[in-house]
């Protein structure tokens, strides 16, 4: 079965539910074929970046939603926009995805990158969590590509 759009966000449902488990880096893949937890093969081709609990299939009896798998995430607390810029520049040059939330910059843990960041004075903590949001290099705002 091909799932070509997001139908909504799973909050509560009395329908039969199945889940497609994804790694954070699989969220924007087109034509990705995976087995659901229940064993059904589906192809994801939504053309969007999927988020945790996105419903990708729904009929009157059941639905299939995305479940992101937890991964090791490094969180670095930053004190200024200058620090955010410096840290994100370094992470970007290493090819790492970044999530910014308030005073925290998060990225999927990579030992070599963590060592380089420590050498430059950036220290963080590593935890197991869902890396749900990241900045894409080609985000579009209005009619400009960043």
Q: What pTM did the predictor assign?
A: 0.75
Task: Output b/e per residue, 79-106; b: 16+ Cβ within 10 A.
Answer: eeeebbeebbeebeeeebbbbbeeeebb
Rg of the chain, C-alpha, whole Å: 18
pLDDT at 137 > cutoff 50: no
d(C-alpha 83, C-alpha 86), whole Å = 5
pLDDT at 13 > cutoff 60: yes
Helix, strand or coil for residue 5? coil
Task: Output b/e per residue, 16-52; b: 16+ Cβ within 10 A.
Answer: ebbbbebebebbebeebeeebeeeeebebebeeebeb
22 close to 65: Cβ distance less than 8 angstroms: no
- The pLDDT score that the predictor gives to residue 23 is 92
The mean predicted confidence, pLDDT, of the chain is: 86
pLDDT, tens digit, for every residue of 39-66? 999 999 888 888 899 999 999 999 999 9
**E strand or H helix at 112, and its extent?**
helix 111-119
> Residue with structure tokens 């081709």?
45
């Amino acid at each position: 079965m091909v799932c070509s759009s997001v139908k909504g966000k799973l909050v509560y449902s009395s329908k039969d539910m199945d889940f497609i488990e994804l790694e954070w880096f699989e969220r924007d893949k087109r034509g990705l074929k995976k087995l659901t937890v229940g064993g059904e093969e589906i192809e994801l081709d939504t053309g969007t970046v999927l988020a945790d609990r996105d419903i990708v299939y729904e009929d009157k009896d059941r639905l299939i939603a995305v479940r992101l798998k937890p991964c090791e995430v490094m969180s670095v607390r930053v004190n200024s926009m200058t620090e955010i810029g410096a840290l994100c520049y370094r992470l970007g040059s290493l090819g790492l995805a970044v999530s910014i939330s308030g005073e925290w910059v998060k990225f999927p843990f990579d030992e070599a990158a963590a060592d380089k960041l420590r050498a430059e004075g950036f220290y963080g903590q590593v935890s197991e969590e869902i890396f749900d949001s990241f900045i894409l290099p080609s985000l579009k705002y209005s009619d400009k590509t960043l």
